[in-house]
Amino acid sequence: MVSLHWDESGDITQRDFLWGFLSDDRKEVSGRPVAIAEDSQGSIYITDDYAGAIYHLSPGSMLKASAPYPLKVTNNTPRKPPTIDSDAAREGKALYQDHDCAHCHQQQVPLKELSKKYTLETLASYFDAPTPPMPRYNFTDQQKKALAHYLLSLEALR
What is the binding site for ligand HEC (CB under 6 A)? 96, 99, 101, 103-105, 109, 111, 114, 117, 123, 126, 130-131, 133-135, 137, 147, 151
Q: Least CB distance from residue 52 to ligand HEC, whole Å?
A: 18
Q: Is the Cβ of residue 77 or residue 106 nearer to ligand HEC in the bound state?
A: 106
* Closer residue to ligand HEC in complex, CB, 87/128: 128
**Closest CB to ligand HEC among 12 and 129?**
129
Separation of alpha carbons 149 and 141, rounded Å: 12
Q: Are 147 and 99 in contact (CB under 8 A)?
A: no
CB closer to ligand HEC out of 46 and 84: 84
What is the closest distance, in whole angstroms, from the C-beta atom of residue 109 to ligand HEC in the complex?
Answer: 5
CA–CA distance, 73 with 18 (Å, rounded to integer): 7
Closest distance between ligand HEC and the C-beta of residue 108, in Å? 7
Rounded CA-CA distance 116/125 in Å is 16
Q: Long-range CB contacts (< 8 A, 24+ apart) of 101-109?
A: 104/134, 109/134
C-alpha span between 133 and 81 (Å, rounded): 29
Smaller CB separation from ligand HEC, 71 or 134: 134
Amino acid in position 70: P
Give CA–CA dist 52/124, Å, rounded: 18
Contact (Cβ atoms closer than 8 angstroms) between residue 5 and residue 15: yes
Question: To the nearest whole angstrom, how small is the minimum distance from the Cβ of residue 21 to ligand HEC?
Answer: 17
Closest CB 158 distance from ligand HEC, rounded Å: 15
